[in-house]
């Protein structure tokens, strides 16, 4: 019996070693393609399965990334903002069902029906200031929450509150403004005192352009000859929509604290993780991938791309923090799939097959991926091409008669047909997005 037990343990150790080796292989494939530098962590509960740094935190000084390297989080910040709102609700300072005007009496008439709930779920209709034509010109200059809100407060709503979903950085800036107004503290202080310090997140905070922050990574973006220094953004601009920094280890502490009941009550956590529209809850996406529920969010800001995912069924945490603008979400999706025993195929492992032009022609058409976002499929000679609204054409290659892959990004397109007609499913970053064909159905 003892020998059988030892054999069982040995098999588990070998399986884990193989998983870790494959995880490293997955990340290395992006490193080798020069699309990723950063730090990665995978943990089940408090048991860290994989934790490693790749590439350089600072290319000019040859300082490597490590688990202690600090990265700008971009929009992963939003979940901390949402949790702060819920903490204020628990203390009787507000209700998420309240109209914004209750705490901001001078708000425009167009906001009369906008509630804090609408703002949390990106259904307020308030246009995102990061999409304004002059946004790039304003990025380098210091501002205040009041001035940020002034940029969008008098703009017409994109739609009536609660009617649709549209990602809005303005909304999360507005939430930070309300946190300051209601708590009487700066956003940075509130998050530090109510989240970071209680959870022992000593390597997290509000990023600064002037402070000396030990072990902070420099941000890079791809250039023609390799990485170049990312453009400058004053950290008062992203504010409560994207200004925080952290490490992989601190973000594990956050996930363990948030889902372990150390931050919010069970009722508040339920609110925070219940999706309203487009699989979006409060600062978090909630969806199913590979048969597993995942609660996650990505982030992107000059020089950094990040992704934080939590699978509640087995308390799996996946953290990918990159200081080279690139595919953090793709990496996180693959690591999550592998940790659940699912096969993972890298771009370099996909084999192209040749299909006749008449078969390729079946898929030509326009597919609606989201409101105002279409995926156009065209045929140039014998080459099938895909084009997302506002972007250039990209060739796609057949793996089978229905599955195609891209080489410039790690994504696949799977064509099919059901009672509603033809469709295509975009598989990318661990997510599956279905787009229905708007033109003729597949013949």
Nearest to 300 by CA among 369, 219, 375: 219
In this structure, what token pair is assigned to residue 162?
């609660």
Residues of the chain with pLDDT > 90, as a percent, come to 88
Poorest-pLDDT segment among 232-241, 255-264, 389-398, 430-439: 430-439
Which of 3-12, 53-62, 350-359 is the most confident on average? 53-62
In this structure, what token pair is assigned to residue 198?
């209680």
Other beta carbons less than 10 A from residue 37's beta carbon: 25
Confidence of residue 11 (pLDDT cuts 50, 70, 90): very low
Q: Which residues contact 58 (CB under 8 A, 6 or more apart)?
A: 217, 218
Which of 1-10, 15-24, 378-387 is the most confident on average? 378-387
Question: Which pLDDT belongs to residue 325?
Answer: 97
User: In this model, does residue 10 exceed pLDDT 70?
Assistant: no
pLDDT in tens, 425-436: 998 877 788 999
Question: Which pLDDT belongs to residue 12?
Answer: 40
Mean pLDDT (whole number) for 435-442: 70
Question: Which pLDDT belongs to residue 22?
Answer: 97
Confidence of residue 301 (pLDDT cuts 50, 70, 90): very high
d(C-alpha 104, C-alpha 106), whole Å: 6
* Ranges of CATH 2.40.128.50 domains, the chain: 357-437
- Fold of the domain built from segment(s) 357-437: Lipocalin (2.40.128)
Question: Which pLDDT belongs to residue 370?
Answer: 81
Name the pTM for this structure. Answer: 0.87
3-class SS at 241?
A: helix
Q: Where are the alpha helices (DSSP H) in 163-228?
A: 169-183, 187-191
Give me the chain's average pLDDT, please: 94
Mean pLDDT (whole number) for 47-58: 98
User: In this model, does residue 393 exceed pLDDT 60?
Assistant: yes
Asked if 229 and 140 count as a contact pair (C-beta separation under 8 A), the reply is: no
Mean pLDDT (whole number) for 389-417: 93
Question: Which pLDDT belongs to residue 171?
Answer: 98
User: In this model, does residue 6 exceed pLDDT 60?
Assistant: no
Q: Is the domain 71-339 a CATH 3.90.1170.50 member?
A: no
CA 356 to chain centre: 38
* Ranges of CATH 3.40.710.10 domains, the chain: 71-339
Confidence of residue 216 (pLDDT cuts 50, 70, 90): very high
Mean pLDDT (whole number) for 211-233: 97
Mean pLDDT (whole number) for 369-394: 91
Residues of the chain with pLDDT > 70, as a percent, come to 95
Question: Which pLDDT belongs to residue 1?
Answer: 61
User: In this model, does residue 5 exceed pLDDT 60?
Assistant: no
């Amino acid at each position: 019996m003892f020998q059988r037990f030892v054999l069982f343990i040995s098999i588990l150790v070998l399986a884990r070693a193989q998983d870790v080796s494959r995880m490293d292989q997955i990340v290395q494939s992006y490193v080798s393609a020069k699309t990723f530098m950063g730090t990665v962590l995978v943990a089940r509960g408090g048991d860290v399965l994989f934790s490693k740094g790749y590439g350089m935190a600072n290319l000019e000084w040859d300082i490597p990334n490590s688990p202690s390297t600090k990265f700008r989080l971009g929009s992963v910040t939003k979940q901390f903002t949402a949790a702060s709102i819920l903490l204020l609700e628990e203390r009787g300072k507000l209700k998420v069902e309240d109209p914004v005007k209750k705490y901001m009496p001078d708000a425009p008439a167009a906001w009369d029906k906008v509630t804090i709930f609408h703002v949390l779920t990106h259904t307020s209709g308030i246009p995102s200031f990061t999409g304004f034509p002059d946004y790039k010109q304003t990025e380098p200059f210091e501002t205040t929450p009041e001035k940020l809100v002034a940029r969008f407060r008098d703009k017409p709503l994109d739609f009536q509150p609660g009617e649709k979903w549209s990602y809005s950085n303005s909304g999360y800036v507005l939430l930070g403004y309300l946190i300051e107004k209601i708590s009487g503290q700066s956003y940075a202080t509130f998050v530090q005192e109510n989240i970071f310090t209680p959870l022992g997140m000593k390597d997290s905070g509000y990023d600064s352009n002037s402070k000396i922050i030990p072990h902070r990574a420099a941000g890079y973006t791809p250039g023609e000859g390799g990485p170049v220094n990312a453009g400058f953004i004053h950290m008062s601009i992203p504010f409560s929509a994207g200004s925080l920094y952290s490490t992989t280890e601190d973000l594990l502490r956050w996930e363990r604290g948030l889902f372990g009941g150390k931050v919010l009550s069970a009722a508040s956590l339920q609110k925070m993780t219940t999706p309203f529209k487009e699989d979006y809850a409060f600062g978090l996406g909630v969806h199913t991938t590979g048969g597993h529920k995942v609660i996650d969010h990505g982030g992107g800001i000059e020089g950094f791309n990040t992704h934080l995912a939590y699978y509640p069924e087995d308390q799996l945490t996946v953290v990918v923090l990159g200081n080279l603008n690139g595919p953090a979400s793709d990496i996180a999706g693959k690591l999550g799939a592998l940790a659940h025993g699912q096969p993972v195929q890298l771009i370099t492992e996909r084999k192209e097959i040749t299909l006749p032009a008449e078969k390729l022609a079946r898929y030509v058409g326009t597919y609606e991926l989201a409101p105002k976002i279409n995926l156009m499929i065209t045929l140039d000679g014998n080459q099938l091409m895909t084009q997302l609204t506002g972007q250039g054409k990209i060739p796609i290659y057949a793996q089978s008669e229905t599955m195609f892959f891209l080489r410039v990004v790690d994504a696949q397109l799977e064509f099919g047909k059901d009672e509603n007609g033809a469709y295509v499913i975009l598989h990318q970053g661990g997510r599956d997005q279905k787009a229905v064909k708007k033109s003729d159905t597949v013949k």
